[in-house]
Structure 1
Amino acid sequence: MKWNKMQLLLPFTAATLLVGACSNAGTTTNAATEANQAGTASTAPAASANGDAAAEPVKVLWWHSMGGELGKAVDQLVSDFNASHSDIQVEAVYQGTYDESLNKMKASMDSKSGPSVIQVYEIGSRFMIDSGAITPAQQFIDAESYDTSNLEPNIAGYYNFDGKQYSMPFNTSNPILYYNKDMFKAAGLDPEKPPATYEELSQTAEALTKAGNTGASFAIYGWFMEQFLAGQNADYVNNGNGRDTAATESLVNSAQMVKTLSWWKEMVDNKTASNLGRKTDDTKKAFIAGQVGMTMDSTASLRGIVDGAAGKFEVGTAFMPKPAGTTDGGVIIGGASLWIMNNKTDAEQQAAWSFIKYLAEPQTQAKWHINTGYFPITKLAYDEQIVKDNLAKYPQFQTAVDQLHATKLSSATKGAVIGVFPEARQIVESAIEEAFTGGKAPQAALDHAAAQITEKIATYNKTTAK
C-alpha cells in the first residue's frame, strides 16, 4: 500500500500544543494510562552475502512517547518479546511527546525511515485515519480470525470506527476523584462516603475548607470537561460525536457543559476550590501536601499519589461526580494506541502485528499494568496473580476498574472524533479561564469556544475532503 500523497497536506496542528490524554503536566503528553492481546509472526527470508537464503529476523521499528520510568517499562516489554521471537526483532525508539512523534512521522512519510508501528494519543485518531498512512488493525484481525472478545470493550471501543478496529489500544486510563480520608474525618465527614454528585461535592468542599486548607482543586484541563460531558451522556460534537459522519459543529456550549462550568466556577468564587491553573502536576502536588481535600487526576497517577501520601494521610478514590439525577453516561478512556504503517512490506507489517498481539497477551498486560498503573486492555489480565497482588497493595485502583466497567458504550462515552482535537482542548481551557477570572460568563465563554472550534473543524474538513 502507498501513502496518500494528498494527505501530506493535512493540517495537524497538535504540534503547537503539548496536550495529553491522561496527563496535563503542562510540558509533555507522556504520562496518561492502559492496553492489548497474543501472537506469533511470519518470517521474511533475506539473501545472504553468498547468495543463499538466510532466515534473517524481520525488523520492526516502534516509535513511542513513553519517557522516564514508562520508557523503562517499554524497553522491558521489547526485550522480553525479542528474547522469545528469533524471527522478529523490535527496536523501540522514544520520539518525545505525542505531538513531536506525530510531526516526525509526517516528515518521514516520503521515505522508508519512519516507523513500522507508532504510538498515537487517542485524540490523534481522526488524523491517523485521514492520513491514509495506516493499515487498519481490522485487516489483520479478519485475516486470522483473531479473537477480540477478551479486550475491554470500553477501551477497544474508542478506537473502533464504522465497525472497524483501526488501531489496538496500548496505554489506557480514565480520571477519578481522589480525596483525603483523614481530612474527611477531621471535618466530621464519613471517609467511606465520598461525594457522588456536583451538589454533594460542593457541600463536601465547603466542609473541608478551613484555615490553610481548601476543599478541592481541579486542574483547568480540557480532558476533564470532556469527561463531565460524557458523564451526562452528552456529545462533544455533532453527528454522533463525529462517529456517524464527520463532525461539523462543536457542542461545548451545551446546557450540560454550561451547568458544569457554572458549578465549578461557583466553588472557585466562594474559595472552596482553588484555581491552580492548567497543570495537573500542580494540583497533584497540592493534594499530596495535604493542602486540598479533593482533586481529579488520571488513574495512571494513582500509584504515585498513594505512595506520595504514604505516612501523611490515607487516600480515597471515587467515581467522577455527576449532576444529581443523572443516570446515564460514564467515562471516556484516555491514553494511546498502536497504529501499523502501510508504507512497509507485508512481512514487516505482519511482524508488527505479531508484536502488537504479544503486547495484548494477559501476562504482558499484567506486567505493563503493575509497572505503570495503566489499565490492562484485556480482561484476562485480572486473573494473573501479580495483578491480584497489586490490587491488594493499591485497593484504590478497584475504583478505576469499577468505573470503567460501569460505563456503557455510547457516542458520548466512546469519545469525540475530530481532526482538531488538541486545538479544541486548548480553546476550552481558555474558556474556563475566562469564566473563572470574570472575563465572560460561563455561557458566553463557551459560546465563543464553540464558535472557534466549529470554525477549525470546517477548515479541517475542507482540507481533507476527497
Structure 2
Amino acid sequence: MGLGASGCGAGPGGGDVTLKVVAADYGDPGKPSSSQHYWDEAVERFEKENDGIRVDVTVLSWNDVEGEVADMVKAGEAPDIAQVGGYADYAAEGRLYSVSELLSIPTHANLVPALARAGEVGRTQYGLPFASSTRVLFYNKKLFADAGLDPEKPPQTWKQLQKAAQALDAAGVKHPYGLPLGREEAQGESMMWMLGGGAGITDQVGTYTLDAPENVATFTWLRDELVGKGLTGPGAPADLDRKDVFEAFGRGEVGMLNGHPTLVEPAQKAKIDYGTAPLPGRSEPAGSTMGVADWIMGFKENGHRKEIGAFLDFLFQDEQHYEFMDRYGLIPVTMSASDKMLADSRNKELRPFLRALGEAEFYPLNKVSWPDVSQEIRKRVGGAVAEGGDPAAVLDGLQRGAEEREAAAREASE
C-alpha cells in the first residue's frame, strides 16, 4: 500500500477504540518529574481532537518496561503502542506495522534521516525514533587551566588527548581521562573509540566488524598509550561504570570523558566549568559520533492501524514532541523540532549534540543478535586494555561470538 493511502491523514474511523500504550519513564516514577504527567496531558489534548479514540497509557520505569512489554507480547496481549529501547525482535517476528503504514507523509518526511534509517530492518522502517542523544567530549576547563592547558582548545586527535591527559595527571587530577569500560555501557565507550579509529561495530552493510584491524589498533593504542601510562586514573577501566565516571566529573575529579546530554544538568548544578567538543580521532576529529535512540512502535495484534497512526502523528507534531524533549533535556527526532531547539536560547547547551546528530552512527539495533552481542562486549572488552591484555584475541573472540549469534538469529527467522 502506498504512502498516500496508508498514512492516517484522512483520519481514523469505525467506532470507539481504546489504544493501550506502554511507555518508559524519563523522570522519577510517582514524582512530579514522572513522564506520566506528560502523557496524561498529551492524551487529554488528543482525545479532544479525535472523537472515538481513547488512549490508556501505562508508564513504567526503565527497569521494568522492556520485560513488561515482552511478557504482554508472549501472552498474546500486546499493547497497541510500546515505547521502549528496541524493536528488532518484534519486527523480525512480523508483529509490527511499518512506519509507512502508520504515519502521514509530512510526519514521516519530517524525521531526521539518520534516525529513520536506524529504525530499518531490511530497508523497511519499523522502529520509530522517540527520543535521541549523541555523544561529545566533555572537559573540565578549570582543570585544564590549572594544568597549564588552554581551556578553549580541547584535543582534536588522540595524540593531543594523550598530551592533555599527561598534563592533567602531572597536575594531580584523579582521572585525566575517564574510560568507563565496565558492564554498564562498555559497548558505548567502545563504539566511540572504534569510530575515532576509522571503523566501528559493523560496516556500512551491517556486518559485524569487531575484529577489524582498525579496531585492534584502537584498543592497542588505548592499552599502551592511555591506560598503560596511568592516564585513566586508579583502578581498571573494566571496573569503571559510566555512572561512576559521570559522578566523578561532577566532583571535579575527571579532566575529560565522553558524555551525552544528561551530563549537562548535573555538571551545571555542581558548578563545573565545562566545555564540549567533537570526539577526537586518530589523526583528526572523528568523522562521526555515536547516536542513541529510544523507540516507539505499533503492534498489529489488535488491528488498530489507523488509530495508532493518528495518535503517533499527533505525538510527533512540534507542540507535543518539543515539549517532551525540552522537559527532559533530550534531542528531538524531527527536523522541525530540531530547528526549534537550535533557535531556543534556553537549550543552547544542547546545540553541540544536535549538530552531531546528522552524522551519528547507531548501535545495530536492527539485528536480533545485538542484545546478546552487546552483553558480551560489556563483559569482555575491558580486558583488551588491561595490563597484559591482548586486544586482537579479545576482539576476535567477540567477533566469533557475534557471527554465531547472527547465524542463529537468521536460522530462527527462516
Please give the TM-score of this superposition, normalised by the length of structure 1: 0.76
Measure the CA separation in 2 of the matches of 1:459 and 1:254.
22
DSSP-derived class of the 1:109 partner: helix
RMSD, matched Cα: 2.8
Deviations 1:116-154 (A, max 9, x none): 111232xx333122121111111124xx43443332222
Q: 1:293 Cα deviation (Å)?
A: 0.6
- 1:272 counterpart = 2:231: yes
Identity between Structure 1 and Structure 2 (%):
20
DSSP-derived class of the 1:135 partner: coil
In structure 1, what is the equivalent of residue 5 of structure 2?
none
In structure 2, what is the equivalent of residue 125 of structure 1?
87
Determine if contact 1:40/1:354 at 8 Å carries over to the other structure: no
In structure 1, what is the equivalent of residue 245 of structure 2?
283
Match of residue 378, structure 1, among 323, 334, 349:
334
Match of residue 318, structure 2, among 355, 362, 369:
362
DSSP-derived class of the 1:224 partner: helix
Measure the CA separation in 2 of the matches of 1:458 and 1:364.
41
- 1:217 counterpart = 2:159: no
In structure 1, what is the equivalent of residue 4 of structure 2?
none
Determine if contact 2:250/2:266 at 8 Å carries over to the other structure: no
In structure 1, what is the equivalent of residue 78 of structure 2?
114
Measure the CA separation in 1 of the matches of 2:141 and 2:215.
29
Measure the CA separation in 1 of the matches of 2:150 and 2:10.
52
Match of residue 146, structure 2, among 154, 170, 186:
186
- Amino acid in the other structure paired with 1:295: L
DSSP-derived class of the 1:173 partner: strand
CA 415–106 in structure 1, closer or farther in 2 if over 3 Å, else same: closer
Determine if contact 2:292/2:362 at 8 Å carries over to the other structure: no
- 1:450 counterpart = 2:399: yes
In structure 2, what is the equivalent of residue 18 of structure 1?
none
Gaps of 5+ in 1: 1-37, 46-55, 242-246
- 1:339 counterpart = 2:297: yes
Measure the CA separation in 1 of the matches of 2:254 and 2:74.
51
Determine if contact 1:39/1:358 at 8 Å carries over to the other structure: no
- 1:68 counterpart = 2:21: no
Determine if contact 2:219/2:385 at 8 Å carries over to the other structure: no
In structure 2, what is the equivalent of residue 152 of structure 1?
112
- Amino acid in the other structure paired with 1:435: A
- 1:294 counterpart = 2:268: no
Moved more, 63-72 or 373-382: 63-72
- 1:77 counterpart = 2:35: no
- Amino acid in the other structure paired with 1:315: Y
Q: 1:111 Cα deviation (Å)?
A: 5.1
Q: 1:114 Cα deviation (Å)?
A: 2.6
Q: 1:386 Cα deviation (Å)?
A: 10
Structure 1 residues 36-435: aligned runs within 5 Å: 41-45=11-15, 56=16, 58-69=17-28, 72=33, 74-84=35-45, 85-86=47-48, 87=51, 88-97=53-62, 100-109=64-73, 113-121=77-85, 124-141=86-103, 144-209=104-169, 210-211=171-172, 213-220=174-181, 221-232=186-197, 234-237=199-202, 240-241=205-206, 247=207, 250-266=208-224, 267-274=226-233, 275=236, 277-307=239-269, 309-310=270-271, 313-325=272-284, 329-346=287-304, 349-384=305-340, 388-391=344-347, 395-405=348-358, 407=359, 413=361, 415-416=363-364, 417-435=366-384
Please give the TM-score of this superposition, normalised by the length of structure 2: 0.85
Deviations 1:237-259 (A, max 9, x none): 46711xxxxx5xx3211122112
Deviations 1:302-337 (A, max 9, x none): 223333x32xx311111122111577x412421211
CA 91–258 in structure 1, closer or farther in 2 if over 3 Å, else same: same
CA 388–159 in structure 1, closer or farther in 2 if over 3 Å, else same: same
CA 421–163 in structure 1, closer or farther in 2 if over 3 Å, else same: closer
Moved more, 280-289 or 372-381: 372-381
CA 112–418 in structure 1, closer or farther in 2 if over 3 Å, else same: closer
Measure the CA separation in 1 of the matches of 2:67 and 2:35.
21
Measure the CA separation in 1 of the matches of 2:84 and 2:242.
21
Deviations 1:29-53 (A, max 9, x none): xxxxxxxxx97952442xxxxxxxx
Measure the CA separation in 1 of the matches of 2:397 and 2:322.
45
Measure the CA separation in 1 of the matches of 2:106 and 2:279.
34
Measure the CA separation in 2 of the matches of 1:369 and 1:436.
37
Moved more, 275-284 or 126-135: 275-284
In structure 2, what is the equivalent of residue 13 of structure 1?
none
Gaps of 5+ in 2: 1-7
- Amino acid in the other structure paired with 1:159: G
Q: 1:462 Cα deviation (Å)?
A: 1.6
DSSP-derived class of the 1:113 partner: coil
In structure 2, what is the equivalent of residue 33 of structure 1?
none
